[in-house]
Amino acid sequence: MAETPSIAVTAHRLFFALVPEADVRRALAALAADVARAAGGRAPRAQNLHLTVAFLGDVPGDHVPAVLDFGARAAAGTGAFVLALDRVGSFRDAGIAWAAAQVIPPPLQRIFEALREGMQAEGLRVERRAFHPHVTLARRCTRPLPAREMPPVAWPVATLVLMASTTLPEGPHYAQLASWRLAADEGTGAR
């Protein structure tokens, strides 16, 4: 069931995300601090840690009900799973260091595909690049971080979230607009 926004806004800069629970957030925040030091970057605030599943960009207010609808369908179409973040690295040109899974769990791939189909059906912008889910650990990195394996951070995923993004002088601010529990438990998901 979706939690709907309490404030009507004419346009939103939206994205669908996975947001870690407190214990995983703490582990990722500690990892982000270490990675930021190693890469000469800046770690995001712990409350901003997330994995973007689909970025919608600026969405007119009249499209938001459809976005809520296909978000709910995407969540209902798969079950809870565990995401094992077991690699770190960086996007050199973007100056971003990240954590990712070596193998994308099938439930996460299904959510991504369902969201992409909903975006296409609604006539929204769809990213053409391959799906490379990751958690941003540091921005404005001055040194590349070679991709390498790391001890896994096991992230139990049970909720899909629709977020709104606002860029402020002190950095991005994210507000949760809606969330949906994933349909049913599918086991570990990460193999």
Alpha helices in the chain, H assignment, sequence order? 22-39, 64-76, 106-121
Q: Write out the chain's pLDDT in tens, 191 residues.
A: 454 444 344 557 899 999 999 999 999 999 999 999 999 999 999 999 999 999 998 888 888 999 999 999 999 999 999 999 999 999 878 899 999 999 999 999 999 999 999 999 988 888 888 899 999 999 999 999 999 999 999 999 999 999 998 877 666 789 999 999 998 654 433 32
Q: Assess if residue 20 is contained within a domain.
A: yes
Q: Domain limits at 42? A: 15-125+134-181
Q: Assess if residue 187 is contained within a domain.
A: no
What total number of domains does the chain contain?
1
Q: Assess if residue 159 is contained within a domain.
A: yes
Q: Any idea which residue has 């260091």 for tokens?
A: 97
Q: Assess if residue 189 is contained within a domain.
A: no
Q: Assess if residue 10 is contained within a domain.
A: no
Instruction: Give first-to-last CA distance, the chain, whole Å.
Output: 29
140 conformational bin, left if phi > 0, alpha if psi -120 to 50, beta if neither: left
pTM: 0.86
- CATH number for the domain spanning 116: value is 3.90.1140.10
Q: Assess if residue 84 is contained within a domain.
A: yes
Q: Assess if residue 41 is contained within a domain.
A: yes
Phi, psi angle pair for 22, to nearest 5°: -55, -45
Q: Assess if residue 169 is contained within a domain.
A: yes
- Give the C-alpha separation, 99 to 84, whole Å: 10
